[in-house]
Structure 1
Amino acid sequence: MAVSDVPVDLDRDEAREAAARELSDPAYVSDDPNPLQRAFEWVLKKLGELFAGAGGMSGITAVTIIVVVAVIIVIVIRLRVGRTTRAVRSRAGGVFDSVLTAAEHRAAADRAAAAGDLAEAVRERFRAVVRELEQRGVLDPRAGRTVDEVAWEAGRALPVLADDLRGAAMQFDDVWYGGRPATAQGYQQLVSVDDRVRA
């Protein structure tokens, strides 16, 4: 539409259509904040209103509101972190709570390795190391022990093997919790650590 074709007096519907056409131009949309920015701005606005309204409140009321908000935030964070920690501990606990002997775990690891299931072989060989340490009295049998606790406690009791145990624990973590593929070389390193623990 040429400039000369634009009527000088627009009625309401024509003005709305012209405005809608103009505002549908992508140049206007590119500067809109994303949903996360909008949510953050909304929270800041509400906090600003709360603090602005606090000017009319007594000092005790304003402080009480701020403390209550802070406590709610801390509770939400603790619940979320606690749930994550419990989930990690329960996964790790399931790894070491079996009733098999070290020799039985070793045999299961060898079967898994022979079948090409290196992740299961790594898991069973590390279980064999833990059970061997418990059977020899280096570690107290305890449900729910994490991989890192095994490496730290056994490393303190057997300083000469501390680095090997940390490496075995890291490999176990990488494969079972980190999603890294197990390798034949990594499994052989665990076999070596197991042999050193037995010796």
Structure 2
Amino acid sequence: MNLFEIDIQSVFDMASQTILVNDTKRQAIVTTPPLKENEERFIHTLDIVHMGDLVTIDDDKYISLTESVTKRHSKYKAKIRHCNYVIKMPGEVIEDFKRDENGELILDRYGDPIPITIVGESVFIPCIIENKSFSIDGYQLLVADNTIIVIAQDNEVNRVKFTVNNTFSLMDYNWKVRNQDRTKKGLLILTCERV
């Protein structure tokens, strides 16, 4: 190990704070760029942070909008943006039949199994919501009236919950997913229309 690597580790030991990246503890130095309309920060880490990673700092959720595949001055740097909304999606609905403590079917008076509906726990999805335009590294996406852009982490749960034509409630309105863009690896960018 060279001397500079030891020095960068010492700097991290002194100046870093504990954050969560996808619910895993990491040490990071958090810096704040000039003030903008949205809360953005830079995180400097010794381990890579991918685009779309969900970062938690002091109980606030952020999404990484950039990806660094190479180190800059012996560390990785990523730009994160505050998740301004959390969308509550209904849990998984399972159709089953009523059973006793031994797992045997309970039958009605006609000898038919009694159907039941089991609703799983709701899923809370932190995301960025924009209603005019959204930009990632100069790529500008404009939207029409009664339309929003939802930026969430691209994962299996979110892909299923936000399939095209699914609806969700937000800001006292119902929204229908019209397009699911996954061209930015790690980000799920949705165009949604008010219905």
Q: Give TM-score, length-normalised by structure 2.
A: 0.19
| Higher helix fraction (1 or 2) | 1
Structure with bigger gyration radius: 1
